[in-house]
Amino acid sequence: MKKQQMQQKAREKEEKKRVEKEKKREKKRAEELKKIEKQRMEEEKNREKERMKVLEMQQRHKRKKRKGGRRRRKGD
C-alpha cells in the first residue's frame, strides 16, 4: 500500500511539473505574440506617417505650382 501511495504522489508531482511547464510555455508565447503585434502596429503607424508626409509634400507642390502659374500670367 505504501509503495502505491508513493507512486501516486510521484505521478502527481510529475503532472504538476508538466502543467507548470505548459503554463510557462503558454505565457511566453503570449508575450511573444503581444510583442509581435506591438511591433506590427508600430510599423503600420510609421507607414501611415510616411504616407501622410508624401501626400502633404504632393499637396504643397501642387499649391506652389498653381501659385507660380498665376504669378506668371499676371506678370505677362
The residue extents of the domains of the chain are 1-76
Confidence check: pLDDT of 28 > 80: yes
Whether the predicted pLDDT of 75 surpasses 60: no
Give the per-residue pLDDT at 69.
59
> Bigger pLDDT: 7 or 74?
7
Cα(42)–Cα(48) distance, rounded to whole angstroms?
A: 10
The model's pLDDT over 4-15, given as tens digits with 9 standing for 90+, comes to 999 999 999 999
Q: ∠ CA 24-25-31 to the nearest 5 degrees?
A: 90
Residue listed under C-alpha cell 511547464: 21
Give per-residue pLDDT as tens, 36-62.
999 999 999 999 999 999 999 999 998
pTM, to two decimals: 0.58
